Chains A and B, each alone.
Chain A
Amino acid sequence: MATVRNKRETLIAYAYLAPFLLAFVVFLGYPILYSLYLSFHTITVFTSWFDIFGDMEWAGLSNYTSLLFNDYEFWYSLYRTFVYGLLMIPTQIVLGFLLAVLMREKLPWRGFFRGALFLPHILDVFVVGTIWVLIYSPNYGLLDVALNRMGITYFSGTGVLGNPWTALPAIAFALVLKSAGFGMILFLAAMNNIPESVYEAADIDGCSFWQKQWHVTVPLVKPIVLFLIITGLMGALNAFTEIYAMTATKYSQGGPFIESGGHSVGVTKVSGFYLYKTFEQGDYGRAAAMSFLLLIVALVVSVVNARALRPKDV
Chain B
Amino acid sequence: MSRESQQGPALSRLKRPVLFVVTLVMTMFVLLPLVWMFVTAFKREGQALKFDFIPKTTARSAVYATTIDGPPVVVLEFRDAIAQQVAVAGKLTSDEAVPMLRDVSLFHVELPAIAPGTYAYHFLVDNVSKPDPSAETTDAAGESVIVVAGDRMTANGPLAVSLTPRATDRALVIAYTAPDAQRARAIIDGGRVVELSPGAPGAWEASVPALEPGRHEVVFERDRSFVTALSDIYTTSNFSEILFNKDFPFIQFFLNSLVVATLAGVITVCLCTTAGYAFAKKRFPGRDTIFYILLASMLVPGLIFVVPQFALVSQFGWINTYQGMVLPHVANVFGLFLMRQYVETIPDSLLEAARIDGANEWQVFKIAIVPVSMPIIITLFLITFVSQWSNFLWQFITNTPDSPLRTLPVGLNLFKGQYDIRWELIMAGACFSIIPVAIIFAVAQRYFIQGMTSGAVKE
- Residues on A close to B: CB < 8 A? 9-10, 12-14, 16-17, 19-21, 23-24, 26-32, 34-35, 38, 53, 99, 102-108, 113, 115-128, 130-132, 134-135, 139-140, 142, 145, 174, 177-178, 180-182, 185-186, 189-190, 193, 196, 199-200, 203, 209, 212-213, 216-217, 223-224, 227, 234, 237-238, 240-241, 244-245, 250, 272, 275-276, 279, 284, 287-288, 291-292, 294-295, 298-299, 302
Contacts and interface: CB of A to CB of B under 8 A. Distances in A.
Contacts of A38: 307-308, 311
Interface string B1-19: 1001111111100001001
Task: Report whether over half of chain B's contact residues are helix, strand or loop; otherwise say mixed.
Answer: helix
Given A35-B304, A35-B308, A124-B437, A105 B16 contact: yes
Given A13-B284, A185-B449, A295 B301 contact: yes
Contacts of A124: 389-390, 392, 408-409, 433-434, 437
B68 interface: no
Nearest to B306: A279
A200 B4 CA distance: 9
Interface in B415-459: 416-417, 423, 426-427, 430, 433-434, 437-438, 441-442, 445, 448-449, 452-453, 456-457, 459
Contact of A132 (B4, B33, B417): B33
Contacts of A104: 8-9
A284 B9 contact: no
Interface stretch (B24-32, B348-356, B398-406): B24-32
Contact of A302 (B299, B423, B434, B453): B299
A189 B456 CA distance: 9
Contacts of A216: 9
Contacts of B393: 240-241, 244, 276
B412 A294 contact: no
Task: Report whether over half of chain A's contact residues are helix, strand or loop; otherwise say mixed.
Answer: helix
B297 interface: yes
Nearest to B361: A12
Given A38-B307, A107-B20, A115-B445, A140 B49 contact: yes
Nearest to A191: B8
Size class of the contact patch on chain B: 35 or more
Nearest to A142: B36
B155 interface: no
Given A116-B31, A131-B37, A32 B1 contact: no
B23 A140 contact: no
B243 to A, nearest CB: 17
Given A102-B23, A120-B30, A189 B297 contact: no
Contacts of B16: 105, 107
Contact of B331 (A24, A140, A238, A279): A24
A128 B282 contact: no
B258 interface: no
Contacts of A139: 49
